[in-house]
């Protein structure tokens, strides 16, 4: 029984490994030998752990914003913060260890450039950091707070939900903390375990008054972060930490904005709509190409970008024809005259299934487009357990699980 | 090669011959300590403890009998049984008197402390090595340099006292009785680990030891709660609640101080001040770096955390204070860590190598104890070297186990989420793959 489990483990791991090179190497070595090796065989153990569950796919170089430079995600964030501090004399950046550059190097060089009264460390107190940030924002200065890991945002949950989100509402628009932006590294990273891998966007989705944004790439990150900072509402900006170094792209040096509450259709298709955000977008992009190649299915891939308030319009138009009574019509450059009908929707995220944001998307889309759906909406998410330590490769919704769900949806 | 003193075996020798397992060593030492401390306990308990002691002693005799008698007798004359040391006076806050300024160290205790500290040191260095070889992944926070704190706390408190700490937990785990094997296996995520491989570095638990907690400062209210349970049950136990200098600025710690003082909970708040909260020096993080004076209404002690005797006496003093019903007490241990905050921190970007070297050469806890013992004829270089060799072997064996033990089976992914009588299925990913949750 244990042997069967071990073999099954190895099989799943091989499938989950993703990168073709690894798969081929084992094939060449003779698969049976691969099966019978103990799971903890030294070199091999180290090998498969290094393989990520996604491949970052950079977008083509943007030409409309001027000169671009090759940057990875943390450099794009630094660039955005640099632009903000330059443009807005009241902007301050604070958080744990931001002065020397931050644990992920997102604030490197800013203290030297702008001074220690604008980029400073706080003691170890998340509730204090956010509360303090709300205070700064209420007086009109721009506060950019950093929470070291999204997992540590919970001591500050009360401040965000009860103080920041409700300020404008409860004061009848007399006061607001709109110039507050909170940044936090987010999502699984391969070895984060329980307290360095969480994706808490669903907790904040339940709170009207704040905006939650998750970028998928350096170009998106810089534009979205600048929009968040300039937006007159408190925003939480989650940065996928696994992409900090892995995602490299050409990013404009000058500041530019990407509008919030607008999803982006990365790839157009006609059979299935796939929705995700952050790192998971790259996973579903790969799933889309797998589906095209193996099943001849044309997938539409949507990056949600803003979690709340989310772009109901784009997703519904994609998943269902003739959507009536759309509650949030946003004017966007992506509005199309011809509506794409797929009738099938798959939403994927790393956070646990129950109460994850996919449930909100699923329930809204079925409300709006019930008669146009060809199959039940599929959600491929993490399990309803705490984020595991050794079991991470099995926990995350990798491309094989998404592909499997897609196939079952096609054959419904 | 010197052998331990078989003639005075009634004092429960601690140095382990090859036949003696390290766990037995601790058990014998622990039992001896317990017998000495718990003296006034009910007869049946004492009797059973004496039986355990006798059993352990007979095992030693059995093991030692193979050695030639002449060599053994030669050894017995060379060591003194105990020595008295002057220890640094603790700074006091709202206390008239503090722990004593002299401490008696017996030979057995000295050897035990040495062995324990050396084991913690070697274990941390082995964990460093395994991390660099990628057997351990994730986050690994090492505590070498702080060994005296853990060994001293354990020595000063009762065996039945409770403890809870943050993520720099391996040393305290070992002091609280977890074997090196189970610690290293937990680090590598194998089923032989103390949390069955599901916790990792930051989540290790044992008897009366509540972990191993990832969120900074969150364990302090928990510790106060454990103290409340001790008081409520009337079990005369205290709870050692450890946190760091970085955590000392968390709001929930002050909430815990208030509750503990209000309800006079037997909670010892112990701040391990190793001068840096991750990369931030205490002067830059705290408005007041006198962590023992943080609370106006709770008395405090500042203790030299590099001297195991200092820590032991202070722990005894603090535990007695709490046990007498006077309420909580704060203890600040001034200590130092040689490694960086975690394995991804080289540890030299915010402090100089000279500083680390300075501490290593002047106040290394193992070196201090060794000098004390050698200068007062409590032991000899050869004997201590023998302990080193034994420790090294133990660690190597444990590492071997930790790298070859299988990982927990996949079915366990869903286990222990809730406590439920009937197993239920954990949803996720898609409707077709579910894991059973059993607990």
Kindly state the percentage of chain A with pLDDT values over 70: 83
Q: For position A261, what pLDDT does the model report?
A: 93
With cut-offs at 50, 70 and 90, classify the pLDDT of residue B47. Answer: low
The answer to whether residue B296 scores a pLDDT higher than 80 is yes
Answer whether residue A20 shows pLDDT above 70.
Answer: no
Distance (Å, rounded) from C-alpha B267 to C-alpha B256?
A: 10
Residue B55 reports pLDDT greater than 80: no
Q: What local confidence, expressed as pLDDT, does residue B211 receive? A: 84
Given a cut of 90, whether residue A82 has pLDDT beyond it is yes
What's the DSSP call for residue B209? B
At B197 the pLDDT is: 85
Per DSSP (E only), the strands in B81-218 are 82-86, 91-93, 102-106, 162-164
Backbone angles phi, psi at A95, to 5 degrees: 165, -175
Identify the residue with better confidence: B316 or B53: B316
- Each residue's pLDDT tens digit, A374-392: 899 999 999 999 998 888 9
User: How near does any CA of chain B get to the CA of A313, in Å?
Assistant: 25
Q: For residue A272, what are the β-bridge partners?
A: A299
- How confident is the model at residue A18, as a pLDDT? 38
Encoding tokens for residue A13?
Answer: 């791991």
Rounded to two decimals, the pTM is 0.78
Catalytic residue from among A196, A282, A286, A368: A196
Query: For B272-296, b where at least 16 C-beta lie within 10 A, e where not — what string?
Result: bbbbbbbbbebeebbeebebbbbbe
Rg (CA), chain A: 22
Active site residue A126: yes
Q: Percentage of chain B surpassing pLDDT 90? A: 63
Query: Do residues A207 and A157 lie in contact, with contact meaning Cβ atoms separated by under 8 Å?
Result: no
Residue among A53, A96, A126, A230 flagged as catalytic? A126
Residue B43 has pLDDT above 70, yes or no: no
Q: Is A196 a catalytic residue?
A: yes
- Which of A196, A379, A383 is nearest residue B413 as measured by Cβ atoms? A383
* pLDDT the model gives residue A7: 52
Token output for B198? 């599901």
How much is the pLDDT for B27? Answer: 53
Say if the Cβ atoms of B251 and A12 lie within 8 Å: no
- Give the C-alpha separation, A225 to A223, whole Å: 6
Q: What pLDDT is attached to residue A302?
A: 94
Across chain B, mean pLDDT equals 84
Contact between chains at A195 and B137 (C-beta distance less than 8 A): no
Q: Report pLDDT for A31.
A: 37
CA proximity to B429, closest of A391, A299, A402: A402
- Residue A325 CA from chain centroid, whole number: 28
Q: Nearest chain B Cα to A99, which residue?
A: B280
Per-residue model confidence (pLDDT) at position B46: 54
Between A117 and B38, name the one with better pLDDT.
A117
- Confidence (pLDDT) at B435: 75
Which residues of chain B lie closer than 8 angstroms to A192, CB-CB? 138-139
Instruction: Give the Cβ contact number of residue A290 at 10 Å.
Output: 18
> How near does any CA of chain B get to the CA of A365, in Å?
18
CB B409 to CB A9 under 8 A?
Answer: yes
Cβ partners under 8 Å of residue A376, min gap 6: A409, A412
Inter-chain CB pairs, A–B, below 8 Å: 156
State the pLDDT at residue B139: 86
Residue of B nearest to A48 (CA): B134
pLDDT score, position B364: 95
Q: pLDDT at residue A58 above 80?
A: yes
What is the distance between the alpha carbons of residues B343 and B142, in angstroms, rounded to a whole number?
Answer: 8
Count CB-CB contacts under 10 A for residue B96. 6
Work out the average pLDDT over B234-254. Answer: 94
Q: Which of A311, A310, A357, A317 is nearest to A336 (CA)?
A: A317
User: For an interface test with B, which of A53, A188, A193 has the most B Cβ atoms less than 10 Å from its Cβ?
Assistant: A193
Placement of tokens 């190895």 in the chain: A10
Residue A29: per-residue pLDDT? 36
Least confident of A11-20, A23-32, B167-176, B191-200: A23-32
Contacts of B418 (CB under 8 A, 6+ apart): B424, B437, B439
Taking only the tens place, the pLDDT of each residue in A157-194 is 999 999 999 999 999 999 999 999 999 999 999 888 88
Task: Please state the rounded mean pLDDT for residues B283-306.
Answer: 94
Count of CB atoms situated within 10 Å of the CB of A349:
29
Q: Is the dihedral of CA B345, B349, B353, B358 positive or negative?
A: negative
Which residues in chain A are closer than 8 Å to B135, comparing Cβ atoms?
42, 45-46
pLDDT in tens, A293-311: 999 999 999 999 999 999 9
> What is chain A's mean pLDDT, rounded?
84
Q: What's the whole-number mean pLDDT along residues A105-122?
A: 94
| pLDDT bucket at B276, cuts 50 / 70 / 90 | very high
Q: Categorise residue B418: left if φ over 0, alpha if ψ from -120 to 50, beta otherwise.
A: beta
pLDDT for residue A305: 95
Q: Tell me the per-residue pLDDT of A321-349, one tens digit each, with 9 for 90 and over.
A: 543 333 334 333 333 322 346 889 999 99
Going by C-alpha positions, the residue among A114, A384, A106 that lies closest to residue A237 is: A106
pLDDT-derived band at A395 (thresholds 50, 70, 90) equals: very high
């Amino acid at each position: 029984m244990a042997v069967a489990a071990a073999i099954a483990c190895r099989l799943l791991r091989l499938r989950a490994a993703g990168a073709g090179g690894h798969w081929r190497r084992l094939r060449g070595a003779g698969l049976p030998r691969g099966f019978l090796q103990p799971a903890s065989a030294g070199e091999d153990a180290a090998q498969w752990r290094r393989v990520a569950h996604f491949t970052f796919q950079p977008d083509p170089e943007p030409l409309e914003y001027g000169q671009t430079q090759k940057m990875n995600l943390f450099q794009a964030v630094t660039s955005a913060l640099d632009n903000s501090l330059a443009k807005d004399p009241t902007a301050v950046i604070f958080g744990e260890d931001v002065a020397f550059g931050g644990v992920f190097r997102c604030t490197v060089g800013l203290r030297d450039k702008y001074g220690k009264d604008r980029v400073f460390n706080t003691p170890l107190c998340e509730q204090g950091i956010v509360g303090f940030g709300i205070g700064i924002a209420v007086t009109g200065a721009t506060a950019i707070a950093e929470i070291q890991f999204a997992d540590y945002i919970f001591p500050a949950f009360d401040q965000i939900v009860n103080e920041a989100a409700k300020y404008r509402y409860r004061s009848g628009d007399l006061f607001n903390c709109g110039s507050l932006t909170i940044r936090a590294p987010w999502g699984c990273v391969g070895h984060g375990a329980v307290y360095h891998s969480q994706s808490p966007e669903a907790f904040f989705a339940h709170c009207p008054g704040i905006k939650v944004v998750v970028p998928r790439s350096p170009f998106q990150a810089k534009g979205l972060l600048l929009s968040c900072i300039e937006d007159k509402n408190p925003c939480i900006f989650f940065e996928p930490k696994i992409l900090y170094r892995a995602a490299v792209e050409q990013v404009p040096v000058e500041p530019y904005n990407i509008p919030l509450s607008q999803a982006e259709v990365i790839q157009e298709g006609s059979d299935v709509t796939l929705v995700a955000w952050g790192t998971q977008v790259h996973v579903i992009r790969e799933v889309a190409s797998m589906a095209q190649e193996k099943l001849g299915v044309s997938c539409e891939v949507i990056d949600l970008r803003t979690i709340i308030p989310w772009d109901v319009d784009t997703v519904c138009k994609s998943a269902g024809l003739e959507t009536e009574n759309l509650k949030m019509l946003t004017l966007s450059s992506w509005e199309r005259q011809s509506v794409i009908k797929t009738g099938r929707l798959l939403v994927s995220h790393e956070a646990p299934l129950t109460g994850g944001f996919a449930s909100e998307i699923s329930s809204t889309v079925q409300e709006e487009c019930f008669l146009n759906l060809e199959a039940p909406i599929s959600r491929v998410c993490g399990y309803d357990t705490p984020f595991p330590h050794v079991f991470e490769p099995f926990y995350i919704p990798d491309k094989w699980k998404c592909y499997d769900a897609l196939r079952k949806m096609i054959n419904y | 090669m010197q052998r331990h003193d078989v003639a005075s075996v009634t004092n429960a020798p601690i140095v382990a011959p090859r036949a003696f397992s390290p766990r037995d060593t601790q058990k014998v030492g622990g039992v001896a300590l317990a017998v000495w401390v718990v003296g006034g306990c009910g007869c049946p308990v004492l009797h059973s403890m004496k039986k355990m002691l006798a059993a352990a002693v007979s095992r030693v005799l059995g093991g030692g009998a193979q050695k030639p008698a002449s060599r053994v007798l030669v050894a017995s004359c060379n060591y003194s049984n105990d020595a008295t040391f002057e220890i640094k006076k603790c700074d006091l806050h709202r206390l008239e008197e503090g722990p004593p300024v002299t401490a008696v160290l017996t030979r057995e205790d000295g050897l035990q402390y040495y062995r324990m500290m050396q084991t913690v040191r070697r274990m941390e260095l082995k964990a460093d090595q395994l991390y660099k070889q990628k057997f351990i992944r994730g986050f690994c926070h090492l505590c070498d340099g702080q060994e005296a704190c853990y060994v001293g706390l354990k020595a000063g408190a009762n065996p039945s006292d409770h403890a809870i700490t943050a993520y720099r937990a391996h040393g305290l785990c070992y002091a609280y009785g977890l074997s090196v094997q189970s610690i290293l296996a937990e680090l590598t995520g194998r089923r032989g680990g103390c949390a069955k491989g599901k916790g990792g570095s930051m989540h290790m638990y044992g008897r009366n030891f509540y972990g191993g907690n990832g969120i900074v400062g969150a364990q302090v209210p928990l510790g106060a709660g454990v103290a409340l349970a001790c008081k409520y049950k009337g079990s005369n136990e205290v709870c050692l609640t450890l946190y760091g200098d970085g955590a000392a600025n968390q709001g929930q710690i002050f909430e815990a101080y208030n509750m503990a003082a209000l309800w006079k909970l037997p909670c010892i708040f112990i701040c391990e001040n190793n001068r840096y909260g991750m990369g931030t020096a205490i002067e830059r993080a705290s408005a007041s770096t006198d962590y023992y004076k943080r609370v106006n209404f709770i008395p405090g002690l500042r203790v030299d955390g590099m001297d195991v005797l200092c820590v032991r006496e202070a722990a005894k003093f603090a535990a007695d204070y709490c046990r007498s019903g006077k309420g909580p007490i704060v203890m600040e241990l001034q200590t130092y860590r040689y490694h960086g905050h975690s394995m991804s921190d080289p540890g030299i970007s915010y402090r100089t190598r000279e500083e680390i070297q300075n501490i290593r050469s002047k106040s290394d806890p193992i070196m201090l104890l060794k000098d004390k013992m050698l200068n007062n004829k409590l032991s000899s270089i050869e004997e201590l070297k023998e302990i080193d060799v034994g420790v090294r072997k133990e660690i190597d064996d444990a590492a071997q186990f930790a790298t070859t033990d299988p990982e927990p089976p996949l079915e366990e992914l869903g286990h222990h989420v809730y406590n439920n009588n009937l197993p239920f299925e954990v949803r996720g990913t898609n409707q077709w793959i579910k894991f059973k949750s059993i607990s």
